[in-house]
Amino acid sequence: MAYPFGPEQKPETPPYAVLQYKRQDTSIAQAVHNTENQSQYDAACKRLLSEKIILAWILKECVPEYKDEKIDDIMHKYIEGVEVSVVPVQGPRIHGDNTEDTDRYEGTIRYDIFFRALLPKGQGRMLLLINVEAQNKENEKYPLVSRMMYHLARLASSQHGVEFIHDDYGNLQKVYSIWICMDAPKSRANSMNVYEMTEKQVAGNVKLKKSDYDLMTGILLWLGDPGSEKYDGIYKLLHTLLSNKVKEPKKRQVLEEEFHIPMSEKMEKEVSEMCNLSQGILEQGMEKQRLIDERKIERIQKKMERQNIQKMKQLLAAGVDKTTIASVFDCSLEELEGLSKKKSR
């Protein structure tokens, strides 16, 4: 089954309820406010990802259970299992009530985003438990896919006593862990890998019901490289939304025109502030690189000075005329006299 599904389908017309609050303050606008440094910028990215309309696009394009559903239906009927008929001024957002998973033996892990989503009718189990994580870069200390598998295991085991009790494992709900890598190298940009449970018949022809074992799926998305032919659908949406390199007018155009994500007048201002923050982060990086380059140049200059002094000493010892040495190395006769005195001591 191919992933993602979304780029082949045209987004439907924005629902009236969404259009109704298009010019009001949306919570998406507030999600890009008060960001002054990199950590706050990262937190703002995670808040933007927690918007229902963004999660709806992620589900539609990455999760096969929703590939045939409309964005508006996913947003209002399925996410959190709540059907929203009136969109509030603040806008719907997944709150972090269930983002902490604590086990007395295994410790505590915190999910960036965790929510429940009802399944469309006729798909077996009632709901999905979904975790979304945002990563600037992959950690060099461990494979990101291994961490994702640990999250999946915890999402499954934490259901005991919540989704089912005792040994009623038939009520175990399927879990998804979706990891978004925002700053991927070109070799991985605009890519998606899916890791899921499959059945392998080693001997005999026994075939079990897929919904009984297909209960954990991990998805890795790598963003970036707008110049690639694959830069479309979910890759373009998330990169445009989260990148600190996409300019303000382009953000507005792509989010509004291609993905029908509401942008109020105030949000336009706040997106502008976020873009200013992005520029600030870029300038900080440039300043840091400038200092690194200056220190590198200073080390090179000192090394060359030591090498030149050594060569001048060798020429003085060989009896070469001091005027000639001073001309070649662009130094004064007084400096050469100083070297001679040091040599003679």
| Predicted pLDDT at 95 | 52
| Predicted pLDDT at 183 | 81
| Closest C-alpha among 236, 101, 116 to residue 174 | 116
How many residues are there in the chain? 345
- pLDDT tens for each residue of 208-256: 999 899 999 999 999 988 888 889 999 999 998 888 778 777 888 898 8
| Predicted pLDDT at 45 | 74
More confident of the two residues 270 and 148: 148
- pLDDT tens for each residue of 82-131: 332 232 334 455 554 456 665 555 666 778 888 889 998 766 667 888 99
Confidence of residue 293 (pLDDT cuts 50, 70, 90): low
Confidence of residue 63 (pLDDT cuts 50, 70, 90): very high
- Could you write out the three-class secondary structure of the chain? CCCCCHHHCCCCCCCHHHHHCCCCCCHHHHHCCCCCCHHHHHHHHHHHHCEHHHHHHHHHHHCHHHCCCCHHHHHHHHECCCCCCCCCCCCCECCHHHCEEEECCCEEEECCEEEEEECCCCCCCCEEEEEEEEECCCCCCCCHHHHHHHHHHHHHHCCECCCECCCCHHHCCEEEEEEEECCCCCCCCCEEEEEECCCCCCCCCCCCCHHHCCCEEEEEEECCCCCCCCCCHHHHHHHHHHCCCCCHHHHHHHHHHHCCCCCCHHHHHHHHHHHHHHHHHHHHHHHHHHHHHHHHHHHHHHHHHHHHHHHHHHHHHCCCCHHHHHHHHCCCHHHHHHHHHHHHC
Confidence of residue 201 (pLDDT cuts 50, 70, 90): very high
| Predicted pLDDT at 320 | 81
Half-sphere exposure of 94 (CA within 13 A, CB side): 30
User: What average pLDDT does the structure give for the chain?
Assistant: 76
**Global pTM value:** 0.68
